[in-house]
């Protein structure tokens, strides 16, 4: 079954009771049992709910995975992966990372005795000096947030497989439409479903997708025991959003490419981060492991300080100044003061997250309106 067909049909059958084509919202906390333990597969909605089960099956199909788990947020999904670890374990991850991931790693799990190595992942072999008998997990984003670094998933996967380490890939920026980490060696794929998968800026949700049955059981235990699971209304909204994922991503990619090329020629723009450019670091890897280059574009303003950057960010009329990304509407974000504020200044500046950096989530509006808005704001 091809991607578009899976997006519309995977995990979803007409409701056997009424014939409803759309998966119903099973707004219930508990389920009838004929006798103790004799039920229809559902006992309590923290653990399983029919609407959520349909969504999990659909997301697993999109990521070519055997199992899916939906969480109440992307951070809830990340938290569950960290709970696979024990005090003394070590994690290797990138030096350009979503601020929320950095925060939970350093402020929550580090104090429980888990050690994190934040390194340059531009080459897979860069992880080798950090691997020891305490290493349990490699966690990567690609493209990274916000400087669009590209990590070779297959190259890292070969190293982790040889050493029996877990490889988790945050696939939020690419979406399953553009990138399939499971096919490249990932053991766990994580999504902030809030973003491209849901696609309409009306849901907070996360997901984990896995192939290994025992890993799924371990994560399901954490999922059920700790309870960071979403309600059926949100699951319904995401199922609805997924049905147009392939259409939306095509438009995001087309508009993103046009915006990136416009910015590259603009005299007020200094650096630009978009993996579709041939001079973007690891462009060849992006071309190999991605089906297109996405709708995320970051850039720095030439000779601008923080106040100048704030002024530009507040001058847009079509782009909305807001956190998050991946919705149909275009957003502009200032990472230093918004999504990446929890990362120390000296750490974020090492990888280019500077005061004059802006990040665009290019939506699906008419491209002429987006270019005109960029032109007037940059003035």
Annotated catalytic residue, options 26, 52, 98, 187: 98
Q: pLDDT value at position 133? A: 98
Q: pLDDT value at position 339? A: 85
Helix orientation angle between 245-265 and 367-378, rounded to the nearest 10 degrees: 40
- Our answer to whether residue 46 is catalytic in this structure is yes
Q: Which residues sit opposite 6 in a β-bridge?
A: none
Omega within 30 of 0 (cis) for the link into 143: yes
Do the Cβ atoms of 359 and 333 come closer than 8 Å? yes
What are the domain boundaries of the chain?
3-242, 245-378
State the fold for domain 245-378. Answer: 3.90.1150
Do the Cβ atoms of 7 and 59 come closer than 8 Å? no
Low-confidence ranges of the chain (pLDDT < 50): none
Q: pLDDT value at position 40? A: 87
The residue among 144, 156, 139, 153 whose CA lies nearest residue 97 is 144
CA atoms 146, 182, 129, 102: torsion sign: positive
Annotated catalytic residue, options 6, 102, 177, 195: 195
- Our answer to whether residue 373 is catalytic in this structure is no
- Our answer to whether residue 52 is catalytic in this structure is no
User: Where do the H-state alpha helices sit in 209-295?
Assistant: 213-226, 232-242, 245-265, 283-289
Annotated catalytic residue, options 79, 152, 170, 234: 170
Whole-angstrom Cα distance, residue 374 to residue 379? Answer: 9
- Our answer to whether residue 170 is catalytic in this structure is yes
Q: pLDDT value at position 198? A: 98
Q: pLDDT value at position 342? A: 84
Domain 3-242 in CATH 3.40.640.10? The answer is: yes
Q: pLDDT value at position 24? A: 95
Neighbours of 51 (CB within 10 A): 25
Q: pLDDT value at position 57? A: 98
């Amino acid at each position: 079954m091809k991607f578009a067909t899976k997006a519309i049909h995977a995990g979803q059958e007409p409701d056997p009771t009424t014939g409803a084509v759309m998966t119903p919202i099973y707004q219930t906390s508990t389920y009838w049992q004929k006798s103790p333990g004799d039920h229809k597969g559902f006992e309590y909605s923290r653990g399983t709910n029919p609407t959520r089960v349909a969504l999990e099956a659909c997301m697993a199909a999109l990521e070519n995975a055997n199992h899916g788990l939906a969480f109440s947020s992307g951070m809830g999904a990340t938290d569950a992966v960290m709970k696979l670890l024990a005090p003394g374990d070590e994690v290797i991850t990138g030096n350009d990372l979503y601020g929320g991931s950095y925060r939970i790693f350093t402020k929550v799990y580090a104090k429980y005795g888990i050690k994190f190595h934040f390194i340059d992942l531009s080459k897979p072999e860069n992880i080798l000096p950090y691997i020891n008998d305490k290493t349990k997990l490699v966690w990567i984003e690609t493209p990274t947030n916000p400087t669009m670094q590209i990590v070779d998933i297959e190259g890292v996967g070969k190293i982790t497989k040889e050493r029996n380490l877990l490889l988790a890939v945050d696939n939020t920026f690419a979406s399953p439409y553009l990138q399939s980490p499971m096919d490249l060696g990932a053991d766990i794929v994580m999504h902030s479903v809030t973003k491209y998968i849901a696609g309409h800026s009306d849901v907070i949700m996360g997901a984990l997708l896995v192939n290994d049955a025992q890993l799924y059981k371990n994560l399901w235990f954490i999922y059920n025991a700790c309870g960071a699971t979403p309600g059926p209304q949100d699951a319904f909204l995401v199922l609805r959003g997924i049905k147009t994922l392939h259409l939306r991503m095509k438009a995001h990619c087309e508009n993103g490419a046009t915006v990136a090329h416009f910015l590259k020629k603009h005299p007020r723009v200094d650096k630009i981060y978009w993996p579709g450019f041939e001079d973007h670091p690891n462009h060849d890897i992006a071309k190999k492991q991605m089906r297109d280059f996405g709708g995320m574009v970051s850039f720095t303003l030439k000779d601008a300080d923080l106040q100048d950057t704030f002024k530009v960010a507040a001058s847009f009329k079509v782009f909305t100044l807001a956190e998050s990304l991946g919705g149909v509407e275009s957003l502009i974000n200032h990472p230093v003061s918004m999504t990446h504020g929890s990362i120390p200044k000296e750490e974020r500046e090492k990888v280019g997250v500077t005061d004059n950096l802006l990040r665009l989530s290019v939506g699906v509006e008419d491209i002429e309106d987006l270019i005109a808005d960029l032109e007037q704001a940059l003035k």
